[in-house]
Amino acid sequence: MPSIDYSQIPMTALVASLAIGYLLGSIPFGLILTRMAGLGDVRKIGSGNIGATNVLRTGNKKLAAATLLLDALKATVAAVLAQALFGSETVHLPGLLGGFAAFIGHLFPVWLRFKGGKGVATYIGTLLGVFPLMVLVFAIVWLSVAKLSRYSSLSALVATLVIPVALWLLHQPETALVTAAMTVITWWKHKENIERLISGTEGKIGQKG
């Protein structure tokens, strides 16, 4: 991704990119799909969030997979749409802001009193929209850590640490900065998982009960 020329970007384009991203990101697919399936309010089970992991606790794997896909794609669409409307071959900030705002919208949707998901799917979706190669890097890191530890949360947390570093090494400072901010927020949203990892009480992949 070429360096961003900030002087070419009107403030209205930046605001519009953020608005588009936030509105798309705040669509609570987990809640919508579980209600459509007659499974009630997903916020009343498990962790209480609207992400795919909590949807999986309903016992419906297909619904959880659909939630994961849609939560990722809403960030991808936000990034691609903002870039198409307001960016250019040399100006990529609108796409970055669109993806970042979708990530924030998923975590803090205004429709749900700012109580959303944990952001891993929308993190990946943002990467797909702004720097697709990083999705492969994320997947490799996630799978490697998961194979060694069998902790899904740890795998995601490590992957989010690697992404900004990889982008920086690839001379993508703006994208690295945005993903670094997303990483910090992701870790904060996973603070309970981190506490359980430290105490040894975090559930492992495939573990029942």
pLDDT in tens, 139-195: 999 999 999 999 989 999 999 999 999 999 999 999 999 999 999 999 999 999 999
pLDDT over 60 (residue 138): yes
96 closest CA partner among 154, 202, 14: 14
Q: How far, rounded to the nearest angstrom, does the alpha carbon of residue 137 sit from its chain's CA centroid?
A: 15
pLDDT in tens, 54-111: 888 888 889 989 999 999 999 999 999 999 999 877 778 899 999 999 999 999 999 8
State the pLDDT confidence band at 6, using cuts at 50, 70 and 90.
low
Q: Which region among 30-39, 131-140, 175-184, 199-208 has the lowest average model confidence (pLDDT)?
A: 199-208
Question: Do residues 109 and 116 make contact, with C-beta atoms less than 8 angstroms apart?
Answer: yes
